[in-house]
Structure 1
Amino acid sequence: MTTDSSDITWCLCLGFLLQGLTLYYCSRNDRLHRWRFLLHVSAFLWIAMVFLKRFYIDQILPPRDAISHEMWARHVADLLSQENYLDLQPILGIGNRGYRLVLGAFYWISDAPETATYAVHACLAYWGLLSMVDLYSQHFRASRIPFVVIALSVFCPSALFWTVGNIKEGAALWGICMTTRFTYLYLTKRKKKGKFLAFFGAGTIAFFRPQMAVLWLVGLAGGNIKKDVKPGMIVVSLLGVVVTFYLIQMIAPAVVDKIVKNGLIETAQEEYEARSSLGNSAITYRNGVPTPFISGCILLLTRPWPNEVHNASSMFAGVETWFVFMVMCYQWMRCPDRKMVLMHPLTMSLLGALFCFSFYFSFMYNMGLMVRQRLMVYPAILGLIAIPALARVMKEDWLQRQAAEKKRNAVTQLHSKPAPKSESAHAPAVAPPAVRHRRVA
């Protein structure tokens, strides 16, 4: 497959847009400005990955989901151009159908090639991850951002591989990041300009992946339970959970009915047993049946294990997973004031999201699907690496300020001592000459 002028034009335009977005964040955040060259290089890398994925990797390993999405989206674009809205009604929906509808409308408006879809998803994923680093550095105002935080955000291999494509991961990751970022910026700074992106991001993730929206909304709501939260935010969070549950009911009504009848855990175990035989990369557990929360947490943070590596993709996934897990453990081991950092509302929200995803992933049946969907919880994992790293830098800054203040106080005391008396001061004083009084006759 060869490129044409429209592919290059779209990638160039979106590449310049990505460079401008990087410049915008670096100009607003002094800590990011220190890494501006590396961030500009990473923005270029994300656009270069579009060509690598579109014209090389996907030709060797054809993505079935992307091919199906592209076919249906072109069909939707044809129906819209013909104004055939009657045949469009069966396609309406959320999840995969919602994504195909939005993508078809994009093709109908812009007549863009599929390469443009790859580039748009790459830009959205990069934007989301960069905004999360900016959020963490604003809440923990250290003098610098450690290199490991920058590297694991904009150079994450799984994000580069899975979001650059014609699948929902890029847009869904952006929606999660925007919802988390502007929720916390609104809570702390009480600014309303981020409301639009927060609601738009929440709508995106709820429209494309409503089950992920429920997990993140529950996590964010759990971390925001504190005294200075507006009651309106709690109401909005509860409404968001109700709406996303309704969207899940639209996607899988039979599963929801089973949950109501048999309970959540029993239904999840039945679904796992029914689907674990599908495909050639089924997830197995020691006792044959997953343990809620524990199995999911282990799956998210440590698997695939070395004995589960069967090809190059699973090997890369395992190496990245174990590296990220060891970095997270190392950062928390070096974190000062762990209790205070853990009790921070942002940390509690990320832990809440990880807890919810651990339950969801406890009943994941396919390793390949798990590796791809694990990207939806990556902002929380990235935050649990960035927060202790930034807290340690803040402690180092405080120690440096204390040492500088002690030195300054010592210099001030040295200059404020009285000067020693001169030798003339110790000499005996000379009596003034006697004044003779004239006797008055």
Structure 2
Amino acid sequence: MRKSTKRSFSIFMTAIMILSLWLPFVPAQQANAEGTTVTSESTERKVRFTYIREDQNFGEWNIWTWNTGVTDGQVDFTTKEGSKAVVDIPVGPNTAQMGFVLRSTDNWDTAQKEFGDRFINVNKNDSLTKAFITSGVEQIRIVPDGSAPVIDNGKATFFYRDKELFANDAMGSIEKVELKFNGETLPMTYQPENERFVVSYENIPNGTSEYTYLVTKDGVTNEVTDPYNTVDGKSTISHTNTELTVSGSVTPEEIDYNQNAVLTVDVIGLTDGVGVRKITADVSALGGSSALEIDPSLKEVTIAVDDNVTAGTKSIPLTVTDSFGNAHNASATVDVKTRQSVGENDFDWDESIIYFMLTDRFFDGDSSNNDPYNQNYEEKNDRGTYQGGDFKGITQKLDYLDELGVNTIWISPVVENIKYDVRSTDEHSYYAYHATGPATLDS
């Protein structure tokens, strides 16, 4: 095998091994054979899970949950009326996202599943998250979280929601809501799908201003503060017109479609009272998103060029939104150059001839590691047990792969896996997608 080819194999194997660390390890429902209590601490936070079927045929449909922060496992619907089945699922105080699978029965082998593993982002401000899952539709509709006013470039958007009425699905019983702000009274518009009243106010004044809501229900109007933004009995909103200097740079300054670069955003003028809420970059000139989000704490992001982009100098518009909602604009530039070949072993990913392998099932190059967990895999000799394939087996077969014309190897994840499936000691994780954690390499 040519020396240069072996070097290429080593580079690509290393890259693929690293990428494999981040692949999904296994359908999450297999992590628990039975419902598992994660913490005994009670909580008032919950997800109201509404499953919608037009045929109204709910049969034995149930939910398998994980990462709730309370009790994981099977959850049965508590009410089934018409086309909706509903259940409230408790979640922990720090739960940001819970996973679930909708299944037609409690038998994993025969159950029909609605799109497999899915996830619900849990609201931060509301103790109740309302999630609507429609049969045959993969996208989940989640009612937006309750919120204090949001300022965007001098325009404030106010939201009103009564927490108790929201929890009882009764926000529609409110007849009218008006905003009292800056000496004005403005009518608010009800959004049934979002279960809240909304109004926007242009050119809000500088400084701190108090506001209230006039809420009319059952013919009676009460003046109330914001349920999501009240301190010492008052609801206030603060705004300051700030002056920030924004600039951007790309390193390296010149790239082709097979290279990456780092886009850096510099912001001058920040103080303890003025921070950065959001940074976006328009990389559509490079074939990317028109609103690529950049972490405000890092102020850097990796960018790439689509292979259809022509050579030349490209502009990247930048928008920095400060903590008061003011937008500050700038731009960066990058030179896109024509891709240059560097030899016979130089190729792009779309020219790759990829050989995918489950490492355990490819070739046994070191028999000393065939029973790392002392489970007597060789004596069992079941098809579900580990068979001994390892990294030495891969390297010993590089010439064989080269003869096949392969120039890229994709191996299964390299992290430590479970000894056996908790549901059956005859089933093991030879496929390498049932990791015990990302920090330990597989033996």
Tell which has more relative contact order, 1 or 2 (C-alpha 8 A, sep 6+).
1
- Between structure 1 and structure 2, the one with the greater Rg is 1
TM-score scaled by length of structure 1 = 0.24
TM-score scaled by length of structure 2 = 0.24
